[in-house]
Structure formats: structure tokens, C-alpha cells
């Protein structure tokens, strides 16, 4: 359960199977956060990746590209989108869409045999044969272009020799595996490719990051909304109109209006404002179908919540002013064919009060912020006002008037005093 900052949602309650998949993701990161085991030693001064995981994060980054070119964002983006799914407070629709795009792009890379960002096809010129020379003779070194990985077993032979025989040689030994490289494109199985595909030759592989991403995507597709989602009804126009069309809210309105405890003693036809609000706020309302779910789209942030169309229950919070609540009640009575002026409350039925319903509300005045004050419009009388000409009229904001280059001239809105006319200096 999470408060969705910047929206009308006090709480978002999403349910999906993330725990097991996140466990696989963390295990994958641990496995590939090693270097020497996978033939990687990094560059000098830490300027190049030292582990396969660092390679993953930099995949597609021109900083580490051999040709300084860039065609796709690469695996780093895929990991970023997975982190949004696994670690974010709320799964947003944009996170879901972005993850699918990252998966599709990674598939495209792997399925293109000549794709330069396919780790199988990254070219290296490296040692493919090393023969130690006799006595003082130099060794025989054969170098070829291969694909996938530069760390051949013959390269390691060269490193051992160079460390003994070449002054200031800084090369390091690391694991070498002949399956990591190949003289043909699309044949090698380097560690970076294995990190993506894991085991198996299927479209998504097995146990690699691509398979984990696919599992996460399937889980998000099945996301459900729990019973603790709550919306604050700040939208006083669309909110009441749309809420009044939901069956459970209609039933709640009639139930509450027929409850004698919300009315004060005497002849008053007006429910007590605080009790009326308490009777509706925090209550759970059934959402019967996708059509009723769409009626909640007045809430800011609605379209951002992944799975919102599957919501079955919603809680509402009406502001204490009762402005939105009263509008909802009036709209429900209208839809049900009830005349608010003739509505029979419990007090009308027992003869305590006359027919009709009176709804009280408090219109809260909101103080203007400094920025709002500065955006207030002024009328400029200067014919050549640069701001009014640009805007196509004679109205400018206080901000514009105060910064106008002509504010010291007669007729400029920036010369207007707070109480009278223009400053006629």
C-alpha cells in the first residue's frame, strides 16, 4: 500500500507476484557481479567495466563502445525498468510500457545475427595462437579477428609470457573459455550474452535477465487492485457527476439520508455537516465492472496506475467543506428521479420537519500564492508594449510588467501604482 505522490490517490493497493521474481533478479545480479571468473579485468584507473554486471549497465553506452557509435539504449535501460517494477512504491502504466519496449529492443538485438550490439557479434582482434620461441627467439604470435570475447586460452599464454619478459607489462590473467569466442558471427557464447539469455536457446532463454524481465512483465499483466485504494475527491466538477453513476454510491446516499442520526434535533432539514462527511469518507464502495471503473478517471493520476481497470473496491475521502460530497448527493437524487426540495427525510416522514433536504457546505477561500499574484493580469496602455504585442493583446502579467524594458515610460503597466493611475514621471 502506498500514497501516490502528486495525484488524488491517498493510497494505491496493487497485488502481484513480485517476491519470487525479485529473488531471481537479485541472484542474477550476484552471479554476474564478478569479473575475473568471466574473463574481465577492467581497464586502468577503473575507466572500463570490471564485472559482467558493469558491462550490462554500460551495454549500448558509447563511452565503452569500440566504434564510439550507439544504436540502442541496451541492457542498462532494461535493468532500470526492472528496478522501477521491483522497487517502486506504485507500478505505473508508463513503467509497464517502458519495460515492454526494453524487452522488445533486447529481443531485436539478439535476433539480429549481424547486429553490432549483439554480444555474440562484438569483434575483437586477439591472440589465437601463441608459441614460445627457442632460447632467445621471440615467440610466434598469431592474431585474428574473432567475435564474442577477446580472452582466449592462447591470449592467456601470451599474458604469462609477457608478464615475465616485457617491462612494465600490465596485463592480467583471467579465466578463459573457448566457447566464449568464435571466428564466425552468431556462434560465440560470451558471458555478456549468457547474462542476457542464461541457459537454453529459446526466444527468451532461461535464467538470464531477459527471461526474468519476461516473468516480471507477465506478473504485471496479471496485477490486481486490493481493497485499500482510496481517492480524495478534489475534482468538484467531474468527480460528483461521475461518482453519482456508480450503483454502490447511489445505494449509500439513500442509506445515509435515511439515517436519523445524521440530523440534529428539532425541525432542521439539514444533516449535520461533520456526521454527513464521516458517513461517506473512508467507506468502501463496490465497483461492478470496467465501465464503473472508468467513472473514477476524474481522479488525478488515474491513468498512471497499472491495473486500475480491474479495480473492484474503492474508498473515497471527501474534503471537510462537503462541496464535492453535496454535489454528489444532489446528482444521485437527480439520477434517481428525486426532487431535493420534496425529498422525504426520516424527520419528514415522522412529521418532525417539512419535506425537503438542505445541504450545508463551507466554501473555503484559498489564499493566493506569491506566484499566483505575479501572474495576475494587468492592462497595458502603451501602444508599443513588447509583451502585449507578443501575446496579441493588451493584457500582461505583473511579472512581465515588472521586468519590462519600457516600465519607466508613461503608459507602461509596470508604472502603475497600487492605488491610482500611472506614475507620470
Residue whose C-alpha is closest to residue 56's, from 196, 205, 177: 196
Share of the chain above pLDDT 70, in %: 79
Cell of 363: 466554501
How many Å apart are CA 55 and CA 295, to the nearest integer? Answer: 47
Mean pLDDT for 388-393 is 53
* CB 59 within 8 Å of CB 117: yes
Specify the 3-state DSSP secondary structure of 335.
Answer: helix
Q: What pLDDT is attached to residue 422? A: 34
The model's pTM: 0.69
Which has the higher per-residue pLDDT, 357 or 119?
357
Q: What pLDDT is attached to residue 44? A: 54
Q: What is the CA radius of gyration of the chain?
A: 35
Q: What pLDDT is attached to residue 80? A: 87
Lowest mean pLDDT among 13-17, 127-131, 199-203: 199-203
pLDDT band for 182, please (50, 70, 90 cuts).
very high
How many Å apart are CA 191 and CA 149, to the nearest integer? Answer: 8
pLDDT band for 371, please (50, 70, 90 cuts).
low
pLDDT band for 418, please (50, 70, 90 cuts).
very low
Q: What pLDDT is attached to residue 424? A: 35
Mean pLDDT for 37-55 is 71
Which has the higher per-residue pLDDT, 395 or 92?
92
pLDDT band for 19, please (50, 70, 90 cuts).
confident
How many Å apart are CA 279 and CA 235, to the nearest integer? Answer: 20
How many Å apart are CA 389 and CA 396, to the nearest integer? Answer: 10
Specify the 3-state DSSP secondary structure of 254.
Answer: helix
* Residue 395 CB-half CA count within 13 A: 3
Cell of 138: 621471440
pLDDT band for 325, please (50, 70, 90 cuts).
very high
**Is pLDDT above 70 for 343?**
yes
**Is pLDDT above 80 for 409?**
no
Cell of 317: 475521502
How many helices, marked H, and strands, marked E, lie in the chain? 16, 12
76-92 tens-digit pLDDT: 888 889 988 988 889 99
Which has the higher per-residue pLDDT, 204 or 75?
75
Placement of cell 491610482 in the chain: 420
**Is pLDDT above 50 for 62?**
no
> What does the angle CA 97 – CA 312 – CA 83 come to, to the nearest 5 degrees?
30
Residue whose C-alpha is closest to residue 245's, from 297, 321, 307: 297
**Is pLDDT above 70 for 382?**
no
Average pLDDT, the chain: 83
Q: What is the dihedral of CA 71, 76, 77, 81, to 10 degrees?
A: 160
Placement of cell 503597466 in the chain: 413
How many Å apart are CA 397 and CA 403, to the nearest integer? Answer: 10
Amino acid at each position: 500500500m502506498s500514497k501516490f505522490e502528486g495525484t488524488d490517490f491517498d493510497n494505491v493497493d496493487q497485488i502481484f507476484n513480485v517476491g519470487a521474481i525479485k529473488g531471481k533478479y537479485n541472484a542474477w545480479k550476484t552471479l554476474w557481479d564478478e569479473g575475473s571468473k568471466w574473463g574481465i579485468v577492467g581497464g586502468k584507473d577503473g575507466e572500463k567495466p570490471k564485472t559482467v554486471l558493469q558491462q550490462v549497465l554500460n551495454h549500448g553506452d558509447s563511452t565503452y563502445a569500440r566504434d564510439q557509435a550507439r544504436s540502442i539504449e541496451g541492457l542498462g535501460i532494461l535493468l532500470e525498468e526492472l528496478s522501477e517494477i521491483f522497487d517502486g512504491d506504485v507500478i505505473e502504466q508508463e513503467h509497464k510500457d517502458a519495460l515492454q519496449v526494453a524487452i522488445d529492443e533486447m529481443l531485436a538485438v539478439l535476433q539480429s545475427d549481424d547486429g553490432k550490439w549483439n554480444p555474440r557479434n562484438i569483434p575483437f582482434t586477439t591472440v589465437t595462437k601463441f608459441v614460445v620461441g627457442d632460447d632467445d627467439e621471440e615467440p610466434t604470435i598469431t592474431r585474428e579477428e574473432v567475435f564474442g570475447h577477446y580472452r582466449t586460452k592462447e591470449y592467456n599464454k601470451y599474458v604469462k609470457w609477457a608478464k615475465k619478459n616485457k617491462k612494465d607489462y600490465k596485463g592480467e590473467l583471467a579465466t578463459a573459455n573457448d566457447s566464449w569466442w568464435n571466428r564466425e558471427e552468431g556462434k560465440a557464447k560470451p558471458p555478456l550474452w549468457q547474462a542476457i539469455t542464461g541457459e537454453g536457446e529459446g526466444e527468451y532463454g532461461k535464467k538470464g535477465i531477459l527471461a526474468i524481465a519476461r516473468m516480471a512483465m507477465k506478473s504485471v499483466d496479471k496485477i490486481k487492485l486490493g481493497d485499500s485504494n482510496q481517492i480524495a475527491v478534489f475534482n468538484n466538477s467531474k468527480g460528483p457527476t461521475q461518482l453519482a453513476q456508480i450503483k454502490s454510491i447511489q445505494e449509500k446516499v439513500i442509506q445515509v439520508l435515511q439515517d436519523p442520526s445524521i440530523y440534529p434535533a428539532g425541525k432542521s432539514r439539514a444533516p449535520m455537516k461533520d456526521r454527513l462527511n464521516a458517513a461517506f469518507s473512508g467507506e468502501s464502495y463496490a465497483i461492478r465492472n470496467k465501465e464503473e471503473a472508468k467513472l473514477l478517471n476524474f481522479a488525478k493520476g488515474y491513468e498512471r496506475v497499472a491495473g486500475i481497470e480491474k479495480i473492484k473496491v474503492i474508498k473515497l475521502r471527501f474534503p471537510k467543506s462537503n462541496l464535492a460530497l453535496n454535489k454528489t448527493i444532489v446528482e444521485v437524487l437527480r439520477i434517481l428521479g428525486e426532487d431535493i426540495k420534496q425529498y422525504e427525510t426520516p424527520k419528514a416522514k415522522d412529521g418532525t420537519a417539512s419535506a425537503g433536504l438542505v445541504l450545508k457546505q463551507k466554501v473555503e477561500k484559498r489564499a493566493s500564492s506569491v506566484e499566483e499574484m505575479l501572474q495576475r493580469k494587468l492592462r497595458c496602455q502603451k501602444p508599443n508594449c513588447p509583451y502585449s504585442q507578443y501575446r496579441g493583446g493588451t493584457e500582461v502579467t505583473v511579472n512581465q510588467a515588472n521586468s519590462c524594458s519600457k516600465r519607466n515610460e508613461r503608459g507602461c503597466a509596470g508604472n502603475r501604482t497600487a492605488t491610482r493611475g500611472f506614475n507620470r514621471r
